[in-house]
Structure 1
Amino acid sequence: MTDASDEQLVLQPPRPLRIGDAVPSFTARSTAGEISFDDYRGRWLLFFSHPADFTPVCTSEFVSIARAADKFAELDCALLGLSVDSLYSHVAWLKAIEEGFGVTIPFPLIEDPSMAIARAYGMLDATAQDTSTVRASYFIDPDGIIRAMTWYPLEIGRSVDEMLRTIAALQRTAGGDVVAPADWQPGDDLLYPAMPTMSDAHLGGESPTWFCRKRESE
């Protein structure tokens, strides 16, 4: 860790994070001032990294995410970005986006020049020299547990619509009484969870698709 970034990690896992893991806490500098991960406890968080400032795909992602910020807010989901670039680069890039695209980035962007946070989250292996391949997203619940994650290569931008759909689906299925089918959108019908025993299976009646029972939206 470097004095310039003032990053302080409470925990560094020995392996890449997986779904169901508690995320490491940290304190770091950002475009909104010093950020502590603990500030986000109690609400959903989309924590995402990008390879580098002033690059075309990353710029398109930040513009799209910023334009959808109200939709994330409606889901009570905070947004938090990160890259290896310095705080000064972040500020200059976000200012250029505002002037060039007419879009203000409303969420903090963390600097990670030492790659300490990226490594703690398993975005990089121990031998990586830069974050040029990192385009990772972590969907974190109010208790600080990873509920989903996605990885995209350097050349392909993420889908903001899919980010929103993922958050909505995670929230809707959090109780464990339903699961979301392929291509589910808020308001669509859901499915009942799988039946683990023969007795449960008989509850499905004579339907040949007893193992895939639809639950109508409320």
Structure 2
Amino acid sequence: MTSDVQIQSSPMPRIGDLAPQFAAETTQGLLHLEDFKGTWVVMFSHPADFTPVCTTEFIAFAKAHSQFQKMGCELLGLSIDSIFSHIAWTKNIEKTFGQKITFPIIADQARSVAMLYGMIMPGESKTETSRCVFVIDDKQVIRAIIYYPLTTGRNVDEILRLVTALKTTDEHGVATPANWKPGDEVIVPPPRTQDAADDQLGNTDTQCLDWYFCKKTLKS
């Protein structure tokens, strides 16, 4: 049996890849991805304007925008709706819910950015972008990718936590355990030689359950 679902042929970017470059019309004018070089970016797609789940997400992202900015991170939304639809929707959100949308939204009617980033899942919808999240660092490297189905709104607090964890890893050379949040202990990278394993166990700055499993508290 053959399926009538057409699998998109363009390669999907992966964690560790340079983010594909693009220029796009947004609610804040023409923007290039390279305009954001030197800062982190959370780029996220939504299925459609004037839909209830997407509206709740945009309100949540807008409320957290200043928190992202304090970390040196900007937000960039996207769907395949027109620029006029984006403008009308954001004005409606402000009027109906009292929340101004302060970050740009890409109008990707030609689906060029969506295809470049693998944002369309034909098995779920051929005409809407999925709820994708791409975390791009200040060197324009993709550091994290999350996909949600059309029916499930994203947890913005988790995306804030994710960006914070990635920046903590870069700054301190550590990893972060499950459910980590700022102030919690971090994971010390496991040693790669026997001598280093012995040194790890004797390090008074770490708390080790075994040579490969050590945590420490970051000094403020």
Fold shared by both chains (TM-score > 0.5) = yes
Within-5 A mapping of 1:14-163: 14-124=10-120, 129-132=126-129, 134-163=130-159
TM-align CA RMSD: 1.9
Instruction: Verify: 1:181 aligned to 2:182, yes or no.
Output: no
SS at structure 1 position matched to 2:210: coil
Q: For 1:135-164, what per-residue CA distance to the aligned partner results, in whole angstroms no more than 9, with x for missing partners?
A: 000000011100111100011111110010
Q: 1:192 aligns with which of 188, 191, 202?
A: 188
1:200 offset after TM fit, Å? 2.2
The TM-score, its normalising length taken from structure 2, stands at: 0.87
Give the share of equivalent positions with the same residue, in percent: 42
Amino acid at match of 2:94: E
The gaps in structure 1 that reach 5 residues or longer are 1-12
SS at structure 2 position matched to 1:174: helix
> Quick check: 1:45–1:80 contact (8 Å CA) kept in 2?
yes
The gaps in structure 2 that reach 5 residues or longer are 1-8, 203-207
Amino acid at match of 2:127: D
Q: How many residues align?
A: 205
> Quick check: 1:17–1:122 contact (8 Å CA) kept in 2?
yes
Q: 1:126 to 1:62 in 2, by over 3 A?
A: closer
Looking at structure 2, the residues matched to 124 and 194 of structure 1 have their Cα atoms a distance apart, in angstroms, of: 38
The TM-score, its normalising length taken from structure 1, stands at: 0.88
Amino acid at match of 1:20: G
Aligned counterpart, 1:4: none
1:14 offset after TM fit, Å? 4.6
Q: 1:46 to 1:96 in 2, by over 3 A?
A: same
SS at structure 1 position matched to 2:134: strand
Looking at structure 1, the residues matched to 140 and 180 of structure 2 have their Cα atoms a distance apart, in angstroms, of: 25
Amino acid at match of 2:217: E
Looking at structure 1, the residues matched to 126 and 155 of structure 2 have their Cα atoms a distance apart, in angstroms, of: 27
Moved over 4 A (4+): 125-128
